[in-house]
Chain A
Amino acid sequence: MRQKRSEIYSVELSGTKDIVRTDQGDDKEKYRGLKNNCLERKKKNQEEDFQKELQLDDHKLNNRELEKKYGTNIIMGLSSTRAAELLARDGPNSLTPPKQTPEIVKFLKQMVGGFSILLWVGAFLCWIAYGIQYSSDKSASLNNVYLGSVLVLVVILTGVFAYYQEAKSTNIMSSFNKMIPQQALVIRDSEKKTIPAEQLVVGDIVEVKGGDQIPADIRVLSSQGCRVDNSSLTGESEPQPRSSEFTHENPLETKNICFYSTTCLEGTVTGMVINTGDRTIIGHIASLASGVGNEKTPIAIEIEHFVHIVAGVAVSIGILFFIIAVSMKYRVLDSLIFLIGIIVANVPEGLLGTVTVTLSLTAKRMAKKNCLVKNLEAVETLGSTSIICSDKTGTLTQNRMTVAHLWFDNQIFVADTSEDHSNQVFDQSSSTWASLSKIITLCNRAEFKPGQENVPIMKKAVIGDASETALLKFSEVILGDVMEIRKRNRKVVEIPFNSTNKFQLSIHETDDPHDKRFLMVMKGAPERILEKCSTIMINGEEHPLDKSTAKTFHTAYMELGGLGERVLGFCHLYLPADEFPETYSFDIDAMNFPTSNLCFVGLLSMIDPPRSTVPDAVTKCRSAGIKVIMVTGDHPITAKAIAKSVGIISANSETVEDIAHRLNIPVEQVNQRDAKAAIVTGMELKDMSLEQLDEILANYQEIVFARTSPQQKLIIVEGCQRQDAVVAVTGDGVNDSPALKKADIGIAMGIAGSDAAKNAADMVLLDDNFASIVTGVEEGRLIFDNLKKTIAYTLTKNIAELCPFLIYIIAGLPLPIGTITILFIDLGTDIIPSIALAYEKAESDIMNRKPRHKKKDRLVNKPLAVYSYLHIGLMQALGAFLVYFTVYAQEGFLPHTLINLRVEWENDNVNDLEDHYGQEWTRYQREYLEWTGYTAFFVGILVQQIADLIIRKTRRNSIFQQGLFRNKVIWVGIASQIIIGLILSYGLGSVTALNFTMLRAQYWFVAVPHAILIWVYDEVRKLFIRLYPGSWWDKNMYY
């Protein structure tokens, strides 16, 4: 295993070498490391740096060579002047933040993004039109100036809104910066000084004590019981000992190097700085993470697609009618004004804001369920996720060693590994268990921290390492007060665990006052413990350890090891009272007591168990068509065991190796197709071409990647993305951050996660619970469906707003609806209803369907556009025209008199225009009527938008199946629509600039038949869709 590890890590280190090398290779290999060419070129310098730097051999050098290499002295340290020179040469010991887009650029981008550019064009056309009018007639009406200003205001408001939303998303680099230790104790000029860590240079001699962060990459010169937490860097959850010995070829594996930003948990260490700032290992990962481009989220792509469609329609209709108008001998100026009207009518000004609000509402809802969304658009991404690449430690597992199995009396017992340990059901009556439990309790140095009497046992903080903690909590749960038991069995002497002995031993007085013997208890690596034993306890009686019992021991050991569990052996010996009287003085150095011919009692195995909610969540993901892939830095055996227990590898599926083992044939002979599951190690991955990786990802349903490096996690994520999958990555360590960034949605753990991971992620699971992802998926899918409804609702009225202009140009009617009025619909009455659709419940079980295909299942597809524009939109336009004609007819202008009336109508000098009855109208009287017409048309659209809102509640089910009153917010929306309409008409009817008038009450009801028609028509549509799935109707009418 050791050997393997070194090779695996060399992948990470030479990961960038691949890129450089394959640059000259064939094209298919070219993108192995990073996705796109320009990024590659941009990063090349950095990468060459990376590559060079990682040919680190400082761990192989002895102290003298080191001193020579860095021109320093281990005792005296660097001289201040030399340090200053080096500081000037290498720069400060901190991570360079990536270049940031200036805020103003971000802001300006928002100002021209989306529909904004169209509205800018509209605004400028308005002003130009006014300019032309003004130059010919000084008293030109200011209407165009107002309109232009209103358009600009709309652009700026929506821009500011979008900018504010974007500004919330944070920058990944800030977290790397936060990790920098503030101060460092350094030896310079033979003196110990405390200096800011930023001023460290290579060659400095630093001292670090328990609790501090390592200030730079350092080569350990001497250490006392030092252990470091490398979990954020490598994913290993256990503390790693550090000493000055050179133990491994690989710099990441050797014990004599400590890494920048990791934490020294205990002990002290003195070391020489060998890398600073961006040249440290963490610096490289940081640059890897920040170098990974932020992919556009699927919803961003969808919205862009939608904007393109709408802008395309707006511009082409606009230009078409500009040409028509010009060729109909309209003045160019007038044609320009028509163009503005068409653009404004076609652009759903309020929609992008609505989408943002909708997303943030969902984000809030998700935050309540412990999914904190950092990037709003990520809300939907989770819904379209088709592959989840999950880290194991901390995400799928509890990140806590726990006793999983016991073996005594030739039997394996299962311990409860759930979060609270409450249900320990194994047989505790055997007297072997009594002995075993005593060993577990006594041969243990871990202790609860004081002052936690009211904390549940499993949550108590413990001083001690992971496995001792597990044993302590295990025994506390089963036996009760461990400290009391230890007190009764006073400890006489102990030998703590060390790597050469591989065992831990202690000698105790017994709690039986009549038994004056000492009890020696021992635990350690099972094979080493067994060597020291000559007997074995079965059912409380000692039996000689013969070959057959040794074999059962080995079977059990292999079985537990095969589950990926860490196994410990336990043995004891009652020291004879005659040889070791009460006064006997034990000497651990002289070892004046026996350490062989002991009595073997049992085995106990521990694992970091899966969280209890995970298996269910994985099943739900499965049924939702989401592939769950495990990507871990841990060993394949452990990974497979956890994968099996949480269902990532389901109970009845086998890997190629399993089949080979079952059929007893070589692996090569197994038909690859028979295997559903695959376990791929980093080492295998290293030798694979991209095609092979793609093949694995495509062919296996259940995949576990083990012993992978950060670089490889990236490659895996990219592989998944090549399958057109939307990839979610979960992770907690710094080593996960590049993959988190690369993923379509990165999900970090809120409790266990490092800051770097949280910052690279789009979403943070506050409770570290994988099951929360399922909630997120559900919400994401729902929001996608509901956004469809919102967009369909919003697009519909665009036709009703557009038709008036077209009719106005072609048939010369007095203008049915003004541009300002349109803005009042788009940004007034329609806003709350379209947000209300976000509260709509799902129509069917959205967790039972496949994730959407990101290229095929578009947000705005053809049926949606066609149905909104050409069906409902047209009906709405007709209904609104009916109200308009009614108002004009009842005032004296019957429909036929209106045709081609435009020129006379709008002529300020015609003040005796004759109506149908021979009455004559002044210009102002007509203008007021025109505004009444605007208001009427507005009310017509408003009334039918209520029907539109109700039909948009569902896409397939009948409204009555969905429940008309279940979504209360819809009714709030309808009420808001009506109230805003009433205020505009009756409250602001006297404000000239707004062009609203007090409308007679009965005109509100003129469009009602059309509104009812819309409802009925849509019910019929849905009915046929339900009756004839897959039919022509279904294909063309279901959006």
Chain B
Amino acid sequence: MVIQKEKKSCGQVVEEWKEFVWNPRTHQFMGRTGTSWAFILLFYLVFYGFLTAMFSLTMWVMLQTVSDHTPKYQDRLATPGLMIRPKTENLDVIVNVSDTESWDQHVQKLNKFLEPYNDSIQAQKNDVCRPGRYYEQPDNGVLNYPKRACQFNRTQLGICSGIGDPTHYGYSTGQPCVFIKMNRVINFYAGANQSMNVTCAGKRDEDAENLGHFVMFPSNGNIDLMYFPYYGKKFHVNYTQPLVAVKFLNVTPNVEVNVECRINAANIATDDERDKFAGRVAFKLRINKT
């Protein structure tokens, strides 16, 4: 008697399940009658409807605290990061000189990336600003007044501009151009009113040897103050991010070279222990020649 309660035959289990799904005696489907199901569905409809409304309301209230113009807090962005173009999967620029396809994708990306920098477009949309000074545009009482941007012409990139360049930014000759850009941060006065520039070097001594010579555009890797501050996507529509192009002239082929570029600016620390991209960028360069 007692022992039977534990073990049920398979048939019984199936039978119980059947009865659970549809019990013809009590007209219960899954343990509830039709009215009960109706009640429960109605209840959850109302209840969840209410919850959704409540959540939407609180979210709406919350969004009122957020301006469309500038973020409320920027505490995480005190130090802008640096990045390279072409953007690759693992931050490595690998060029097989003989294999067109290996670098063609980089070239395509760069073409697309540099398109807005074309002089014609810049001339059409952006102002010519005075170098060496921040291009400040106060609202002057007009809330969120649209901002103008300064010109950064593609020709400033010299032989890395890719204009009329048969070497495809040097990729076809094994002398690739890599573009360094600094992350946009709203209302950030980079350089603290002093000039700043980007420098690159091999990460370790052997890297420095293998790296060989390189040239930078604009010269010296300078980034001008007139491109700052940034006023945000919405009101600084045609903002053109300043770039520094680095052309590596004689990288030792067939070795991986670790390159690190930093920005030298008075108010940008480049020695953050945890954030390896704060004010600097590290990437791998490898030129394969047969």
The CA of A281 and the CA of B203, in the complex, are separated in Å by 89
Question: When the two chains form their complex, are residues B51 and A878 in contact, meaning their CB atoms are under 8 A apart?
Answer: yes
| A919 with B77, Cβ < 8 A, contacts A911-B277, A912-B83, A925-B275 known | yes
Tell me if B55 counts as interface (CB < 8 A to partner A).
yes
* Per-position binary interface string of chain A over residues 960-985, scored 1 when its CB falls under 8 Å from any chain B CB and 0 otherwise: 00000000000000000000000000
Question: When the two chains form their complex, are residues B76 and A878 in contact, meaning their CB atoms are under 8 A apart?
Answer: no
Give the chain A neighbours of B184 by CB distance below 8 A.
914, 918-920
The CA of A520 and the CA of B258, in the complex, are separated in Å by 124
Question: When the two chains form their complex, are residues A919 and B2 in contact, meaning their CB atoms are under 8 A apart?
Answer: no
The CA of A36 and the CA of B1, in the complex, are separated in Å by 10
Question: When the two chains form their complex, are residues A1032 and B36 in contact, meaning their CB atoms are under 8 A apart?
Answer: yes
Tell me if A885 counts as interface (CB < 8 A to partner B).
yes
* Per-position binary interface string of chain A over residues 885-921, scored 1 when its CB falls under 8 Å from any chain B CB and 0 otherwise: 1100111101100000000000001011011111111
The CA of A917 and the CA of B69, in the complex, are separated in Å by 7
Give the chain B neighbours of A1009 by CB distance below 8 A.
58
Question: When the two chains form their complex, are residues B81 and A890 in contact, meaning their CB atoms are under 8 A apart?
Answer: no
Interface residues on B, range: 35 or more
The CA of A885 and the CA of B185, in the complex, are separated in Å by 21
Question: When the two chains form their complex, are residues B2 and A722 in contact, meaning their CB atoms are under 8 A apart?
Answer: yes
The CA of A885 and the CA of B230, in the complex, are separated in Å by 25
- CB proximity to B under 8 Å, residues A22-52: 28, 31, 35-37
Nearest CB in chain B: distance from A225 CB, A: 50
Question: When the two chains form their complex, are residues B186 and A928 in contact, meaning their CB atoms are under 8 A apart?
Answer: no
Tell me if B112 counts as interface (CB < 8 A to partner A).
no
Out of B54, B76, B230, B236, which one reaches A928, CB within 8 Å? Answer: B76
The CA of A488 and the CA of B80, in the complex, are separated in Å by 113
The CA of A895 and the CA of B63, in the complex, are separated in Å by 9
Question: When the two chains form their complex, are residues A925 and B81 in contact, meaning their CB atoms are under 8 A apart?
Answer: yes
Out of A36, A721, A894, which one reaches B63, CB within 8 Å? Answer: A894
Tell me if B65 counts as interface (CB < 8 A to partner A).
yes
Tell me if B47 counts as interface (CB < 8 A to partner A).
yes
Give the chain A neighbours of B111 by CB distance below 8 A.
none
Question: When the two chains form their complex, are residues B66 and A889 in contact, meaning their CB atoms are under 8 A apart?
Answer: yes
- CB proximity to A under 8 Å, residues B176-206: 181, 183-186
| A882 with B62, Cβ < 8 A, contacts A890-B71, A890-B72, A909-B90 known | yes
Tell me if A875 counts as interface (CB < 8 A to partner B).
yes
Give the chain A neighbours of B3 by CB distance below 8 A.
31, 35-37
Nearest CB in chain B: distance from A701 CB, A: 24
* Per-position binary interface string of chain B over residues 266-290, scored 1 when its CB falls under 8 Å from any chain A CB and 0 otherwise: 0000001011111001000000000
Give the chain A neighbours of B145 by CB distance below 8 A.
none
Minimal Cβ-Cβ distance residue in A for B55: A878
Question: When the two chains form their complex, are residues A917 and B73 in contact, meaning their CB atoms are under 8 A apart?
Answer: no
Minimal Cβ-Cβ distance residue in A for B182: A920
- Count of A interface residues, CB-CB < 8 Å: 47
Give the chain B neighbours of A890 by CB distance below 8 A.
65-66, 71-73
- CB proximity to A under 8 Å, residues B1-35: 1-3
Question: When the two chains form their complex, are residues B2 and A891 in contact, meaning their CB atoms are under 8 A apart?
Answer: no
The CA of A170 and the CA of B278, in the complex, are separated in Å by 63
Tell me if B208 counts as interface (CB < 8 A to partner A).
no
Tell me if B40 counts as interface (CB < 8 A to partner A).
yes
Nearest CB in chain B: distance from A874 CB, A: 7
Minimal Cβ-Cβ distance residue in B for A891: B73
Out of B80, B83, B234, which one reaches A917, CB within 8 Å? Answer: B234
Out of B62, B71, B272, which one reaches A885, CB within 8 Å? Answer: B62
Tell me if A1006 counts as interface (CB < 8 A to partner B).
yes
Tell me if A495 counts as interface (CB < 8 A to partner B).
no
Question: When the two chains form their complex, are residues B2 and A885 in contact, meaning their CB atoms are under 8 A apart?
Answer: no
* Per-position binary interface string of chain B over residues 210-244, scored 1 when its CB falls under 8 Å from any chain A CB and 0 otherwise: 00000000000000000000101110100100000
| A891 with B71, Cβ < 8 A, contacts A882-B62, A921-B81 known | yes
Nearest CB in chain B: distance from A1032 CB, A: 6
Nearest CB in chain B: distance from A511 CB, A: 69
- Tell me what chain A mostly uses at the interface: helix, strand, loop, or mixed: helix
Give the chain B neighbours of A892 by CB distance below 8 A.
71, 74
Tell me if A491 counts as interface (CB < 8 A to partner B).
no
Tell me if B249 counts as interface (CB < 8 A to partner A).
no
* Per-position binary interface string of chain A over residues 854-895, scored 1 when its CB falls under 8 Å from any chain B CB and 0 otherwise: 000000000000000011001100100110011001111011
Question: When the two chains form their complex, are residues B71 and A921 in contact, meaning their CB atoms are under 8 A apart?
Answer: no
Minimal Cβ-Cβ distance residue in A for B47: A871
Minimal Cβ-Cβ distance residue in A for B85: A912
The CA of A869 and the CA of B40, in the complex, are separated in Å by 16
Give the chain B neighbours of A909 by CB distance below 8 A.
88-91
Question: When the two chains form their complex, are residues B186 and A917 in contact, meaning their CB atoms are under 8 A apart?
Answer: yes
The CA of A1013 and the CA of B50, in the complex, are separated in Å by 11
Give the chain A neighbours of B277 by CB distance below 8 A.
911, 922-924
Minimal Cβ-Cβ distance residue in B for A907: B89
Tell me if A713 counts as interface (CB < 8 A to partner B).
no
The CA of A750 and the CA of B204, in the complex, are separated in Å by 80
Question: When the two chains form their complex, are residues A918 and B230 in contact, meaning their CB atoms are under 8 A apart?
Answer: yes
The CA of A885 and the CA of B181, in the complex, are separated in Å by 30
Give the chain B neighbours of A922 by CB distance below 8 A.
81, 183, 275, 277-278
Out of B47, B66, B76, B234, which one reaches A921, CB within 8 Å? Answer: B76
Give the chain A neighbours of B81 by CB distance below 8 A.
911-912, 920-922, 925
Tell me if A227 counts as interface (CB < 8 A to partner B).
no
The CA of A978 and the CA of B221, in the complex, are separated in Å by 52
The CA of A918 and the CA of B231, in the complex, are separated in Å by 9
Tell me if B70 counts as interface (CB < 8 A to partner A).
yes
Tell me if B143 counts as interface (CB < 8 A to partner A).
no
Give the chain B neighbours of A452 by CB distance below 8 A.
none
Tell me if A1036 counts as interface (CB < 8 A to partner B).
yes
The CA of A874 and the CA of B47, in the complex, are separated in Å by 11
The CA of A912 and the CA of B233, in the complex, are separated in Å by 15
Give the chain B neighbours of A915 by CB distance below 8 A.
71
Minimal Cβ-Cβ distance residue in B for A895: B59
The CA of A35 and the CA of B1, in the complex, are separated in Å by 9
Give the chain A neighbours of B281 by CB distance below 8 A.
911
Question: When the two chains form their complex, are residues A886 and B183 in contact, meaning their CB atoms are under 8 A apart?
Answer: no
Out of A31, A921, A1006, A1013, which one reaches B62, CB within 8 Å? Answer: A1006
Minimal Cβ-Cβ distance residue in A for B283: A909
The CA of A941 and the CA of B176, in the complex, are separated in Å by 52
Question: When the two chains form their complex, are residues B51 and A875 in contact, meaning their CB atoms are under 8 A apart?
Answer: yes
| A878 with B276, Cβ < 8 A, contacts A36-B3, A917-B186 known | no
Interchain residue pairs with CB less than 8 A apart (29): A35-B3, A721-B2, A871-B47, A882-B59, A885-B62, A889-B63, A890-B66, A890-B71, A891-B74, A894-B63, A909-B90, A911-B83, A912-B83, A914-B184, A914-B233, A916-B233, A917-B186, A917-B233, A919-B183, A919-B185, A920-B81, A921-B77, A921-B183, A922-B277, A922-B278, A923-B275, A923-B277, A925-B275, A1036-B40
Residues of B within 8 A of A (CB): 1-3, 36, 39-40, 43-44, 47-48, 51, 54-55, 58-59, 62-63, 65-66, 70-77, 80-83, 88-91, 181, 183-186, 230, 232-234, 236, 239, 272, 274-278, 281
